[in-house]
A and B are shown apart, each in its own frame.
Chain A
Amino acid sequence: MVLHIMADALFISVAILTIGSAIFALETRELVYGAIGLAISMMGIAGFFLLLDSPFVAMFQITVYVGAVAVLVIFTVMLVRTQALFSIKEDYRRKAAGIVLLLVFIGGIGAVVLASGLGNPAFTQFNTPAIDVATIGKQMVTYYAPVLVLLGLTLAASVIGALALARREDIEQKNERVN
């Protein structure tokens, strides 16, 4: 019983951390703080993955989102920073409409989820044993091997695309002229 209450407390604190820092990421004035808030929110999601007995996915999430994506966003914010330091004045009507849309989404999807019978206790308990990492590893190199190769190619293509986008032709032309 004590363990159950502790698990619930842990879940609620992780949920508050995740949702709170997601809102902070969108609403704070400074973009850099927003990037850090997003990173904390991603850590919260990784915490949920740990609560769901999926440590491998949690580690992957932390590596990719906190290690790569957050750093990339912070660097971009630094490059873009000069003028766009403060977020642009917001239209209050647009903001009110956004909040109404948020509530409608929560209400609508929440109603669908509740009507689908997910709240039925017979269905929702995690009775089955957790999936171990060995299963994931085996599946990744056997059944999902082509997907893994395709994923590698996609990542390579996106990196090449990002490099091609960030290339500065004016500077290159100047260098060619000097040469």
Chain B
Amino acid sequence: MNELIDFVTVAVVLFAIGIYGLVVKRNAIRMIFSIEIIANAANLNLIAFSRNLHNAQGQMFALFSIAIAAAEVAVGLGIIIVAYRLYKEIDVEEFRSMKG
């Protein structure tokens, strides 16, 4: 049967992929993808430990975390659209000033 360590391993791999994307990619939308992958790796850990320790708190925390991630994506994409309007570009290295 599946064990806790299997799920933790998958979460570690997903987390590392997310970090890789965050470091390498310059496209703002891809950076949002990376953040989502990292958040999901964290949620997977929460659920796995909640199942292992038979504790409902992990599941509650994962539910709230998923909802907050949705809000974060909405605001992040709004910022990307504004930046695209200003710079005609979604390359984060082109965003050189904080001027509105």
Contacts and interface: CB of A to CB of B under 8 A. Distances in A.
A23 B23 CA distance: 14
B95 interface: no
Interface residues of A, number: 84
Measured as residues with beta carbon below 8 angstroms from the partner, the interface class of chain B is 35 or more
A16 B72 CA distance: 27
Contacts of A177: none
A173 to B, nearest CB: 15
A174 B65 CA distance: 41
Contact of A41 (B3, B37, B90): B37
A147 B63 CA distance: 11
The A interface, classified by DSSP as helix, strand, loop or mixed, is: helix
Contacts of B44: 45, 48-49
B8 A31 contact: no
B6 A73 contact: no
Interface of A: 4, 7-8, 11, 15, 18-19, 22-23, 25-26, 31, 34-35, 38, 41-42, 45, 48-49, 51-54, 56-57, 60-61, 64-65, 68-69, 72-73, 76-77, 79-80, 83-84, 87-88, 90, 94-95, 97-99, 101-103, 105-106, 109-110, 113, 118-119, 121, 123-126, 128-131, 135-136, 139-140, 144, 147, 151, 154-155, 158-159, 161-163, 165-166, 168
